[in-house]
Amino acid sequence: MRVVWSILVCLCLVGCMNPKNKAIGVYDTSQLPSDFGGGEAYQIGMNQDGKPVFVNPDAAFKQIVTDYKDGFKAIQKEYYLFPITKLTWRRYGYYGWQLTHEDEEIIDQGYEISRFFEIYKNSF
């Protein structure tokens, strides 16, 4: 039992000590194809490698799931995915670009979801 706790503590410390993917500056969002509707939850910064990251990835994740719920449902249905969670998000990013649907707005949401996860993955 002590070994498990020791491993968990070490993993938490390593995650907290990795400043590489934290926002350390302002990112020029004019370089991005989307701002996801703006808003504080989608605030984008820049990590030490110059890549865009979400300043608050948890808030951004909650917001995208709400704002693009129809796109997530369509991706889930078309590609037989588990519901969107912080454990299942990668496949939604992969398949969002490929979404086929009769409604152009849903297809646009698929693109936005994939764009979102391109930045979200930099945020950790």
What would the pLDDT profile of 35-64 be if each residue is shown by its tens digit? 777 788 999 988 888 899 999 999 999 999
For residue 72 the two structure tokens come to: 């997530």
DSSP-assigned states of every residue in 32-69? SS--TT--GGG-EEE-TTS-EEESSHHHHHHHHHHHTH
Biggest CA pair distance of the chain: 55
pLDDT of residue 2: 58
The model's pTM: 0.79
